[in-house]
A and B are shown apart, each in its own frame.
Chain A
Amino acid sequence: MKQDVKNPLVVKLVFALGSLIFLSPVLWMALSSLKDPLTVTAYPPRLFFEPTLENYRELFGRTDFLHYTWNSLIVAGCSTILGLVLAIPAAFAISWHRLTWPATVSLFARMAPGTLFLLPWFIMFSNMGLSGSYTALILAHSVITMPLALWILLPYFDGLPREVVESGQIDGCRGPTILLRIVLPMIYPGIAVATIMSFVFSWNYFLFALALSGFETKTAIVASFNFIGEGTTNWGALMAAATSIAIPPLVLTFTVQRWLVAGLSFGAVKG
Chain B
Amino acid sequence: MSVRWMMIPAVIMTLAMVVFPLGYAIYISFGGSDTALSSGIGFSNYRRMIDDPLFWSALWITLGLFVVALVLQLVLGTALALALNRYDVVRGLVRTAILSPFMLPPVVIGMIAIVVLDPGLGAANWILQSIGLPPLLWLASPEWSLLVIALIDTWQWTPFVALIVLGGLQSLPGRVYEAAEIDGAIGFRRFWHITLPLLGPTLLTAAVLRSVDLLRFFDIIYITTQGGPGNATTTLNIYAYKLGFDFMDIGYASAVMITLAIVVFGSVLFFAALRRKVAW
Contacts and interface: CB of A to CB of B under 8 A. Distances in A.
Interface of A: 1-3, 5, 7, 11-12, 15-16, 18-20, 22-23, 25-26, 28-29, 32, 41-45, 85-87, 89-90, 92-94, 96-97, 102, 105, 108-121, 123-124, 139-140, 142-143, 146, 150, 165, 169, 175-176, 179, 200, 203-204, 206-207, 210-211, 221, 224-225, 228, 232, 235, 238-239, 241-242, 245-246, 249-250, 253-254, 257, 260-261, 264-266, 268-269, 271
B104 A249 contact: yes
Contacts of A28: 112, 115-116, 123
Given A1-B173, A19-B97, A225-B107, A119 B250 contact: yes
Given A112-B261, A114-B216, A204-B105, A264 B167 contact: yes
Q: SS class of chain A's interface: helix, strand, loop or mixed?
A: helix
B89 interface: yes
Nearest to B226: A229
B10 A119 contact: no
Interface string B229-262: 0000000010011001100001001100110110
Contact of B167 (A105, A211, A266): A266
Contact of B3 (A87, A96, A121, A225): A96
B86 A113 contact: no
Determine the interface band of chain B, counting residues with CB < 8 A from chain A: 35 or more
B108 A246 contact: yes
A250 B102 CA distance: 10
Contact of A120 (B28, B85, B108, B160): B28
A43 B115 CA distance: 12
A261 B163 contact: yes
A121 B6 contact: no
Contact of B114 (A11, A16, A109, A228): A228
B171 interface: yes
A200 B102 CA distance: 11
A-B pairs, top 10 by smallest CB distance, nearest first, are A265-B167, A19-B97, A120-B21, A90-B10, A89-B6, A204-B105, A175-B3, A120-B24, A268-B164, A116-B257
Given A93-B3, A242-B111, A269-B168, A109 B18 contact: yes
Given A1-B177, A242-B112, A246-B104, A111 B268 contact: yes
Interface string B212-236: 1000101100110000000000000
Nearest to A102: B7
B99 A260 contact: yes
Interface string B88-108: 111001111111110111111
B21 to A, nearest CB: 4
A221 B202 CA distance: 34
